[in-house]
């Protein structure tokens, strides 16, 4: 698991003083981008190779609220993968307290058409497979 840290900003909070739920999707994206950079095949490289990775699905289960200045630690990993999609998992914590669990599903496309990751970006596919194996082992 890779851990990304995000400090909640004032503008991310609603009138009740808690982090607005929509921001957790942003935290997930920040963590996912950092994670791919960490494993050595970032989004800039994916897109430079002519491939894009849109979000196909996202789900969040909110457990506890966060507030301004809280540092949210986002654990990101690979929940599931196939030739065409990767499901990322997220566990967000403030200290030891779980505040949100989530998952996002991403496909890979080139010129608007799905591509098999193992065929089109074999290095990325191998890196993600290795990460998943390390996570499970």
What domains, with CATH codes, occur in the chain?
2-136 (3.10.129.10)
64-96 residues labelled b (16+ CB within 10 A) or e (exposed): ebbeeebebbbbbbbeebeeebbbbbbbbbbee
Is the model's pTM score more than 0.85? yes
Closest of 14, 23, 16, 33 to residue 99, by C-alpha: 23
Cα dist from 76 to 11, 37, 85, 113, 119, whole Å: 24, 13, 16, 27, 25
Query: Residue 112's pLDDT band (boundaries 50, 70, 90)?
Result: very high
pLDDT exceeds cutoff 90 at 81: yes
Strand partners, 2: 76
Please check whether residue 118 is in contact with residue 83, taking contact to mean a CB–CB distance below 8 angstroms.
yes
CA 25 to chain centre: 9
Query: Residue 3's pLDDT band (boundaries 50, 70, 90)?
Result: very high
């Amino acid at each position: 698991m890779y851990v990304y840290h995000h400090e909640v900003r004032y503008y991310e909070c609603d009138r009740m003083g808690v982090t607005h739920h929509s921001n957790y999707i942003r935290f997930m994206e920040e963590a996912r981008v950092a994670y791919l950079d960490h494993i050595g095949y970032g989004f800039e490289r994916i897109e430079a190779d002519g491939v894009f990775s849109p979000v196909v699905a996202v789900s969040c289960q909110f457990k506890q609220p966060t507030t301004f200045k809280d540092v949210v630690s986002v654990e990101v990993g690979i929940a599931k993968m196939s030739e065409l999609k990767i499901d990322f998992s997220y566990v967000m914590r403030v200290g030891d307290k779980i505040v949100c669990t989530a998952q996002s599903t991403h496909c890979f496309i080139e010129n608007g058409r799905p591509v098999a990751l193992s065929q089109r970006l074999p290095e990325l596919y191998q890196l993600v497979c290795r990460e998943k194996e390390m996570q499970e082992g």
